[in-house]
Amino acid sequence: FDNDKLTDLATKIERAAVLLGMDRLKALALGFHLSKAATSSAGTSTKRVWTLSLFRACLAARLAEKFDPKASGEAFVVALMSDAGLPLMPGLVGDRFIEVVNDHDTPDVQYRAEFGSLPFTHVDVATAMCKLWNLPEVLRKPIVAHHTRPQSFTKDDTLGLLHAVAYFVGSIPAQPPEYQDIANDTATQARALFNLKTPEVRTITDQAAHDLDAYKEFFQHILDETMSLDAI
């Protein structure tokens, strides 16, 4: 072993732990491992899904942090893995998936199309992944329920918070047909679920964009480099 390289690595890990905090660092490591395990191909469409999922994960972590800083790591993993089954659907279902699901629809419309026309959905695939990986309930339940509108949550209700966060970030479309409509819908949703005002949502979104930029090298195995932060 090269002692200098080991020392340099240990210094980088220690610095990352100080800058990010151990909970966030553990979430990144788990997210990296699970995303590697869930990626079966490196096609452009697959990477586009994962790139948006990583942004959602950053947004989820920042959003959860406002209510319970200890839950931000779990929020990151939940949002990153919620759509992990989506890139696998064409291979599992075949051409029928492409015929049924329109990329330009919002996530809830896409999910309803899957539910109404296919033998199983990407949520069912994610559920199977959670069982295969033996994920704890605090991660599994919000992943499985991320297309189900949550009830209100209390300060000490970590599962309720993670469910609300997963639902909120999961509703953000990959290819919004009309930006202003989506912005208004997102602001309305933020008020209803979290009692957040538009400036607060903008601040959290800016923080998430900064995080995404910082994590790009770490998650380069799943990212679509053609997608800019402005586009997302």
- On the question of pLDDT at 213 being above 70, the answer is yes
Name the pTM for this structure: 0.83
Q: Residue 91 has what pLDDT? A: 86
Q: Residue 178 has what pLDDT? A: 58
Query: And the tokens for 81?
Result: 């893995």
Tens of pLDDT, residue by residue over 70-85, are: 899 899 999 988 998 8
Q: Strands (DSSP E) along 144-185, which ranges?
A: none
Comparing 32 with 66, the larger pLDDT belongs to: 66
Contact assessment for residue 79 and residue 170, using Cβ atoms and an 8 Å cutoff: yes
- On the question of pLDDT at 5 being above 80, the answer is no
Q: Which of 17-31, 70-84, 216-230 has the highest mean pLDDT?
A: 70-84
Cβ neighbours of residue 150 under 8 Å, at least 6 residues apart?
A: 160, 163, 164, 167, 193
Distance from C-alpha of 1 to C-alpha of 127, rounded to nearest angstrom: 41
- On the question of pLDDT at 9 being above 50, the answer is no
* Confidence bin at 153 (pLDDT 50/70/90): confident
- On the question of pLDDT at 210 being above 80, the answer is yes
